Structure 1
Amino acid sequence: MQASLFAEHPDFFHPQDLVQVKYEMLRAHHVDGLPAAQAARQFGLSRQTFYQAQLAFAEQGMVGLLPQRPGPKGPYKLTPPMQAFVEAEYRRQPQRPLAELADELAARFGVRVHPRTLRRLLQKKKRLEPPAGPGR
Protein backbone atom coordinates (compact mmCIF):
# COMPACT_ATOMS: atom_id res chain seq x y z
CA MET A 1 0.00 0.00 0.00
CA GLN A 2 1.36 3.38 -0.98
CA ALA A 3 -1.27 5.64 0.63
CA SER A 4 0.52 8.26 2.72
CA LEU A 5 -2.36 8.56 5.22
CA PHE A 6 -1.64 5.09 6.53
CA ALA A 7 2.09 5.80 6.92
CA GLU A 8 1.62 9.27 8.45
CA HIS A 9 -1.08 8.28 10.96
CA PRO A 10 -0.51 4.62 11.93
CA ASP A 11 -2.42 5.03 15.21
CA PHE A 12 -5.61 5.86 13.32
CA PHE A 13 -5.29 4.21 9.91
CA HIS A 14 -4.82 0.45 9.87
CA PRO A 15 -3.79 -1.15 6.56
CA GLN A 16 -5.28 -4.48 7.72
CA ASP A 17 -8.74 -2.91 8.13
CA LEU A 18 -10.18 -3.60 4.69
CA VAL A 19 -13.32 -1.53 5.31
CA GLN A 20 -11.19 1.51 6.17
CA VAL A 21 -8.88 0.92 3.20
CA LYS A 22 -11.82 0.72 0.78
CA TYR A 23 -13.48 3.78 2.28
CA GLU A 24 -10.29 5.84 2.04
CA MET A 25 -9.78 4.63 -1.54
CA LEU A 26 -13.28 5.84 -2.46
CA ARG A 27 -12.71 9.11 -0.60
CA ALA A 28 -9.42 9.66 -2.47
CA HIS A 29 -11.29 9.27 -5.73
CA HIS A 30 -14.41 11.30 -4.93
CA VAL A 31 -12.93 14.02 -2.70
CA ASP A 32 -9.29 14.28 -3.82
CA GLY A 33 -10.09 13.63 -7.47
CA LEU A 34 -7.72 10.71 -8.03
CA PRO A 35 -8.60 8.58 -11.06
CA ALA A 36 -10.15 5.24 -10.10
CA ALA A 37 -7.18 3.18 -11.31
CA GLN A 38 -4.69 5.36 -9.44
CA ALA A 39 -6.75 5.32 -6.23
CA ALA A 40 -7.03 1.54 -6.40
CA ARG A 41 -3.29 1.14 -7.03
CA GLN A 42 -2.39 3.57 -4.23
CA PHE A 43 -4.43 1.53 -1.75
CA GLY A 44 -3.13 -1.82 -2.99
CA LEU A 45 -6.41 -2.94 -4.53
CA SER A 46 -7.52 -3.79 -8.05
CA ARG A 47 -9.61 -1.55 -10.29
CA GLN A 48 -12.31 -4.20 -10.20
CA THR A 49 -12.32 -4.05 -6.39
CA PHE A 50 -12.61 -0.26 -6.63
CA TYR A 51 -15.74 -0.47 -8.79
CA GLN A 52 -17.28 -3.22 -6.65
CA ALA A 53 -16.65 -1.15 -3.51
CA GLN A 54 -18.07 1.97 -5.17
CA LEU A 55 -21.28 0.17 -6.11
CA ALA A 56 -21.62 -1.52 -2.71
CA PHE A 57 -21.04 1.79 -0.91
CA ALA A 58 -23.59 3.59 -3.09
CA GLU A 59 -26.21 0.89 -2.42
CA GLN A 60 -25.54 0.06 1.24
CA GLY A 61 -23.22 2.67 2.74
CA MET A 62 -20.43 1.48 5.04
CA VAL A 63 -22.13 -1.90 5.48
CA GLY A 64 -21.52 -2.55 1.79
CA LEU A 65 -17.76 -2.39 2.39
CA LEU A 66 -17.82 -5.25 4.91
CA PRO A 67 -16.38 -8.51 3.58
CA GLN A 68 -19.07 -10.87 2.33
CA ARG A 69 -19.25 -14.55 3.11
CA PRO A 70 -17.65 -16.52 0.27
CA GLY A 71 -19.36 -19.35 -1.53
CA PRO A 72 -22.88 -19.96 -2.74
CA LYS A 73 -25.57 -17.65 -1.42
CA GLY A 74 -28.31 -20.25 -1.64
CA PRO A 75 -29.26 -23.61 -3.07
CA TYR A 76 -28.31 -23.42 -6.72
CA LYS A 77 -29.95 -26.69 -7.78
CA LEU A 78 -33.31 -26.07 -6.15
CA THR A 79 -35.31 -23.55 -8.15
CA PRO A 80 -38.26 -21.77 -6.48
CA PRO A 81 -40.79 -24.23 -8.02
CA MET A 82 -38.73 -27.17 -6.72
CA GLN A 83 -38.54 -25.60 -3.27
CA ALA A 84 -42.31 -25.07 -3.27
CA PHE A 85 -42.81 -28.72 -4.28
CA VAL A 86 -40.55 -29.96 -1.47
CA GLU A 87 -42.31 -27.78 1.11
CA ALA A 88 -45.78 -28.84 -0.05
CA GLU A 89 -44.88 -32.53 -0.06
CA TYR A 90 -43.31 -32.26 3.38
CA ARG A 91 -46.42 -30.52 4.77
CA ARG A 92 -48.58 -33.24 3.21
CA GLN A 93 -46.49 -36.13 4.59
CA PRO A 94 -44.11 -34.92 7.32
CA GLN A 95 -43.17 -38.47 8.38
CA ARG A 96 -42.03 -39.45 4.90
CA PRO A 97 -38.27 -40.16 4.66
CA LEU A 98 -36.40 -37.35 2.94
CA ALA A 99 -34.62 -39.92 0.75
CA GLU A 100 -38.01 -40.79 -0.79
CA LEU A 101 -38.81 -37.12 -1.28
CA ALA A 102 -35.43 -36.66 -3.00
CA ASP A 103 -36.29 -39.57 -5.33
CA GLU A 104 -39.67 -38.05 -6.19
CA LEU A 105 -38.03 -34.66 -6.80
CA ALA A 106 -35.58 -36.34 -9.20
CA ALA A 107 -38.40 -38.13 -11.03
CA ARG A 108 -40.51 -35.00 -11.37
CA PHE A 109 -37.85 -32.34 -12.07
CA GLY A 110 -34.89 -34.38 -13.32
CA VAL A 111 -32.57 -33.03 -10.63
CA ARG A 112 -30.98 -35.29 -8.04
CA VAL A 113 -30.20 -33.80 -4.65
CA HIS A 114 -29.02 -35.36 -1.43
CA PRO A 115 -31.64 -35.75 1.34
CA ARG A 116 -29.43 -33.49 3.49
CA THR A 117 -30.04 -30.69 0.97
CA LEU A 118 -33.78 -31.09 1.54
CA ARG A 119 -33.25 -31.15 5.30
CA ARG A 120 -31.30 -27.86 5.13
CA LEU A 121 -34.00 -26.28 2.95
CA LEU A 122 -36.77 -27.31 5.32
CA GLN A 123 -34.81 -26.22 8.38
CA LYS A 124 -34.15 -22.86 6.75
CA LYS A 125 -37.86 -22.49 6.02
CA LYS A 126 -38.63 -23.47 9.65
CA ARG A 127 -40.62 -26.50 8.52
CA LEU A 128 -38.43 -29.23 9.91
CA GLU A 129 -36.89 -30.10 13.22
CA PRO A 130 -35.37 -33.37 12.08
CA PRO A 131 -34.68 -36.29 14.35
CA ALA A 132 -31.24 -37.81 13.91
CA GLY A 133 -31.23 -40.95 11.84
CA PRO A 134 -30.65 -42.35 8.39
CA GLY A 135 -32.84 -41.08 5.56
CA ARG A 136 -34.33 -38.25 7.66
Structure 2
Amino acid sequence: MLRRTSIREIKGPGGALQVRPEDEAAADLAMLIEGETSGRPLPVVLAEFGRSRSTYYEKLRRFREQGLSGLLARPPGPRGPWRRPMAVVQFIVTARLKEPERSAAAIADDLARQGHAVSVRSVERTLSQFGLTRPPRTAPPRSPSPRD
Protein backbone atom coordinates (compact mmCIF):
# COMPACT_ATOMS: atom_id res chain seq x y z
CA MET A 1 0.00 0.00 0.00
CA LEU A 2 1.35 3.38 -0.91
CA ARG A 3 1.69 5.87 1.89
CA ARG A 4 0.47 9.32 1.07
CA THR A 5 2.79 11.93 2.51
CA SER A 6 1.59 15.11 0.83
CA ILE A 7 -1.35 17.06 2.13
CA ARG A 8 -4.43 16.63 -0.03
CA GLU A 9 -7.11 19.19 -0.54
CA ILE A 10 -10.70 19.02 -1.62
CA LYS A 11 -11.12 22.19 -3.67
CA GLY A 12 -14.24 24.05 -4.58
CA PRO A 13 -15.16 27.47 -5.92
CA GLY A 14 -15.22 28.95 -2.40
CA GLY A 15 -12.00 27.48 -1.02
CA ALA A 16 -10.28 24.25 -0.04
CA LEU A 17 -10.51 21.69 2.74
CA GLN A 18 -7.27 20.01 3.78
CA VAL A 19 -7.18 16.25 4.31
CA ARG A 20 -4.60 14.79 6.68
CA PRO A 21 -2.22 12.43 4.84
CA GLU A 22 -2.69 9.59 7.37
CA ASP A 23 -6.48 9.67 6.95
CA GLU A 24 -6.86 6.99 4.29
CA ALA A 25 -10.65 7.18 4.05
CA ALA A 26 -10.62 10.96 3.60
CA ALA A 27 -7.84 10.70 1.01
CA ASP A 28 -9.87 8.05 -0.85
CA LEU A 29 -12.91 10.33 -0.74
CA ALA A 30 -10.80 13.21 -2.09
CA MET A 31 -9.60 10.92 -4.90
CA LEU A 32 -13.17 9.92 -5.78
CA ILE A 33 -14.37 13.54 -5.75
CA GLU A 34 -11.44 14.56 -7.94
CA GLY A 35 -11.90 11.60 -10.29
CA GLU A 36 -15.66 12.01 -10.65
CA THR A 37 -16.05 15.79 -10.70
CA SER A 38 -12.84 17.52 -11.85
CA GLY A 39 -13.09 16.71 -15.54
CA ARG A 40 -9.40 15.78 -15.52
CA PRO A 41 -8.37 12.50 -17.17
CA LEU A 42 -8.63 9.63 -14.70
CA PRO A 43 -5.04 8.40 -15.27
CA VAL A 44 -3.76 11.83 -14.18
CA VAL A 45 -5.86 11.76 -11.01
CA LEU A 46 -4.77 8.20 -10.25
CA ALA A 47 -1.10 9.09 -10.69
CA GLU A 48 -1.55 12.03 -8.31
CA PHE A 49 -3.06 9.77 -5.65
CA GLY A 50 -0.77 6.81 -6.33
CA ARG A 51 -3.66 4.44 -7.00
CA SER A 52 -4.46 1.91 -9.70
CA ARG A 53 -7.54 1.95 -11.89
CA SER A 54 -8.85 -1.26 -10.28
CA THR A 55 -8.43 0.19 -6.78
CA TYR A 56 -10.22 3.36 -7.86
CA TYR A 57 -13.23 1.49 -9.22
CA GLU A 58 -13.36 -0.81 -6.19
CA LYS A 59 -13.38 2.23 -3.88
CA LEU A 60 -16.03 3.90 -6.06
CA ARG A 61 -18.23 0.79 -5.95
CA ARG A 62 -17.93 0.50 -2.17
CA PHE A 63 -18.65 4.22 -1.73
CA ARG A 64 -21.78 3.97 -3.87
CA GLU A 65 -23.00 0.88 -2.01
CA GLN A 66 -22.04 1.79 1.57
CA GLY A 67 -21.28 5.51 1.64
CA LEU A 68 -18.28 6.76 3.56
CA SER A 69 -18.17 3.62 5.72
CA GLY A 70 -17.26 1.68 2.56
CA LEU A 71 -13.98 3.60 2.43
CA LEU A 72 -12.95 2.80 6.00
CA ALA A 73 -10.17 0.27 6.44
CA ARG A 74 -11.41 -3.16 7.45
CA PRO A 75 -9.31 -5.75 9.25
CA PRO A 76 -8.52 -8.90 7.30
CA GLY A 77 -10.48 -12.03 8.01
CA PRO A 78 -13.92 -13.42 7.41
CA ARG A 79 -16.60 -10.88 6.58
CA GLY A 80 -19.58 -13.17 6.92
CA PRO A 81 -20.86 -15.66 9.44
CA TRP A 82 -18.73 -18.58 10.49
CA ARG A 83 -18.98 -21.35 7.92
CA ARG A 84 -19.43 -24.08 10.51
CA PRO A 85 -22.71 -23.46 12.33
CA MET A 86 -22.94 -24.69 15.92
CA ALA A 87 -25.17 -27.62 14.92
CA VAL A 88 -22.46 -28.81 12.50
CA VAL A 89 -19.73 -28.43 15.14
CA GLN A 90 -21.83 -30.38 17.64
CA PHE A 91 -22.43 -33.16 15.12
CA ILE A 92 -18.71 -33.44 14.31
CA VAL A 93 -17.65 -33.56 17.96
CA THR A 94 -20.40 -36.01 18.92
CA ALA A 95 -19.63 -38.28 15.96
CA ARG A 96 -15.96 -38.47 16.91
CA LEU A 97 -16.71 -39.08 20.60
CA LYS A 98 -19.18 -41.87 19.81
CA GLU A 99 -16.93 -43.54 17.23
CA PRO A 100 -13.28 -42.48 17.68
CA GLU A 101 -12.14 -44.49 14.65
CA ARG A 102 -14.45 -42.68 12.20
CA SER A 103 -12.59 -40.62 9.65
CA ALA A 104 -13.14 -36.95 8.92
CA ALA A 105 -14.25 -37.93 5.42
CA ALA A 106 -16.96 -40.23 6.79
CA ILE A 107 -18.22 -37.47 9.10
CA ALA A 108 -18.25 -34.99 6.19
CA ASP A 109 -20.27 -37.52 4.14
CA ASP A 110 -22.83 -37.82 6.94
CA LEU A 111 -23.12 -34.03 7.09
CA ALA A 112 -23.61 -33.86 3.32
CA ARG A 113 -26.46 -36.37 3.57
CA GLN A 114 -28.05 -34.05 6.15
CA GLY A 115 -27.75 -31.07 3.77
CA HIS A 116 -24.64 -29.43 5.23
CA ALA A 117 -21.94 -28.84 2.60
CA VAL A 118 -18.86 -29.08 4.82
CA SER A 119 -15.46 -29.99 3.45
CA VAL A 120 -13.32 -32.74 4.91
CA ARG A 121 -10.77 -30.05 5.81
CA SER A 122 -13.40 -28.15 7.83
CA VAL A 123 -14.21 -31.34 9.73
CA GLU A 124 -10.48 -31.85 10.38
CA ARG A 125 -10.15 -28.25 11.64
CA THR A 126 -13.10 -28.71 13.99
CA LEU A 127 -11.68 -31.97 15.36
CA SER A 128 -8.31 -30.30 15.84
CA GLN A 129 -9.92 -27.30 17.53
CA PHE A 130 -11.47 -29.59 20.14
CA GLY A 131 -8.41 -31.80 20.54
CA LEU A 132 -10.08 -34.80 18.94
CA THR A 133 -7.50 -35.66 16.34
CA ARG A 134 -6.12 -39.15 16.18
CA PRO A 135 -2.43 -39.93 15.96
CA PRO A 136 -1.45 -40.86 12.42
CA ARG A 137 -1.61 -44.55 11.69
CA THR A 138 1.72 -46.22 11.37
CA ALA A 139 2.34 -49.33 9.35
CA PRO A 140 2.74 -52.44 11.49
CA PRO A 141 6.36 -53.51 11.83
CA ARG A 142 7.40 -56.00 9.23
CA SER A 143 8.52 -59.37 10.37
CA PRO A 144 11.98 -60.24 9.20
CA SER A 145 12.07 -62.16 6.00
CA PRO A 146 13.81 -65.52 5.91
CA ARG A 147 16.66 -63.92 3.96
CA ASP A 148 17.48 -61.45 6.77
* C-alpha contact (below 8 Å) 1:41/1:47 kept by paired residues: no
Residues 4 and 14 of structure 1: CA distance in aligned 2, closer, same or farther (over 3 Å):
closer
Q: Name the structure 2 match of 1:18.
A: 24
* C-alpha contact (below 8 Å) 1:99/1:114 kept by paired residues: no
**Identical-residue share of aligned pairs (%):** 25
Structure having the higher strand fraction is 2
Higher relative contact order (CA 8 A, sep 6+): 1
Q: CA deviation at 1:59?
A: 0.5
Q: Size of the alignment, in residue pairs?
A: 111
Residues 51 and 4 of structure 1: CA distance in aligned 2, closer, same or farther (over 3 Å):
same
Residues 3 and 15 of structure 1: CA distance in aligned 2, closer, same or farther (over 3 Å):
closer
Matched letter for residue 62 of structure 2: A
Gaps of 5+ in 2: 11-15, 110-118, 133-148
Q: TM-score, normalised by structure 1?
A: 0.57
Q: Name the structure 1 match of 2:137.
A: none
Quick check: which has more Rg, 1 or 2? 2
Give deviations 1:46-103, integer Å, cap 9, x for gaps. Answer: 2221111000001000000011222444689x5xxxx46x71572x798x37677995
Structure having the higher helix fraction is 1
Q: Name the structure 2 match of 1:38.
A: 44
Once superposed, what is the RMSD of the aligned Cα atoms? 4.2
Q: Name the structure 2 match of 1:114.
A: 125
Gaps of 5+ in 1: 120-133
Q: TM-score, normalised by structure 2?
A: 0.53
Q: Name the structure 2 match of 1:47.
A: 53
Q: Distance in 2 between matches of 1:50 and 1:93?
A: 44
Residues 30 and 117 of structure 1: CA distance in aligned 2, closer, same or farther (over 3 Å):
farther
